[in-house]
Amino acid sequence: KQDDVPSAPAREQSSHQQPQRPQPSADEVGPVRTQGQPPRRRAQRRQPRHVALTLAQRHFRLLVVGDGDDRARLEARVAGEGLGGAIRFAGRVSDAELAGLYRASAFFVMPSTSEGFGLAYLEAMRAGKPCIAFHGSPDEIIEDGVDGILADAASPGALTEAIVRLFTDRELRARMGGS
């Protein structure tokens, strides 16, 4: 199902054309919001690679939306690991594009331990999408097992397990998205 989502456009587009953004398909999670620096604890540093490898093996894809201080490093890391088919970066998008990405995605993930109140979770829920987050501020918004999954950031496989669970259990995903 890798061909369901168009690739990011080449950089040499003429200035009068609007670039096409990668769009999520039914087997893709997105948007994942990125802002600022990612967590630096060792268990959390291992999770993105484990998630990406698991997604690639199962032919699922992750669409990362937004910009942050670490975007260039993350893009280079994804390219260097040969995971461009599993992880795509859409960059900054308009509010209308973001709403469309929420509607078209399977669910929403924002695995951060340092974000404050997550308006993005409410936006995803408004679009009927379950959310995956690490425990912390999202505990105020997401009811674990009801409208999303709250994972333990200190557990190396927790994020991957939550993502795979929602990808593979359509009934659960639909129930959580309908809460």
The secondary structure of 142-177 as a DSSP string is: --BTTTEEEE-TTSTTHHHHHHHHHHH-HHHHHHHH
Tokens linked to 5: 């989502």
Tell me what pLDDT residue 7 has. Answer: 28
Q: What is the pLDDT of residue 150?
A: 96
Identify the pLDDT of residue 117.
74
CA distance 175 to 147: 8
pLDDT at residue 13, rounded to an integer: 27
For residue 50, what pLDDT is reported? 65
pLDDT of the residue at 165: 93
Residue 19's pLDDT is 40
pLDDT at 59: 73
Q: Are 39 and 152 in contact (CB under 8 A)?
A: no
| The pLDDT value given to residue 148 | 97
Q: What distance in Å separates the CA atoms of residue 101 and residue 46, rounded to the nearest whole number?
A: 27
pLDDT value of residue 140? 92
Whole-number pLDDT of residue 4: 37
Instruction: List the chain residues with pLDDT less than 50.
Output: 1-29, 33-46
Q: Residue 175: is it exposed, middle or buried by C-beta count within 10 angstroms (0-12/13-18/19+)?
A: middle
| Predicted local distance difference test score (pLDDT) of residue 6 | 30
In this structure, what DSSP letter does residue 71 have?
H
The pair of structure tokens assigned to 171 is 């009934």
**Cα separation, 140 vs 175, whole angstroms:** 20
pLDDT the model gives residue 142: 95
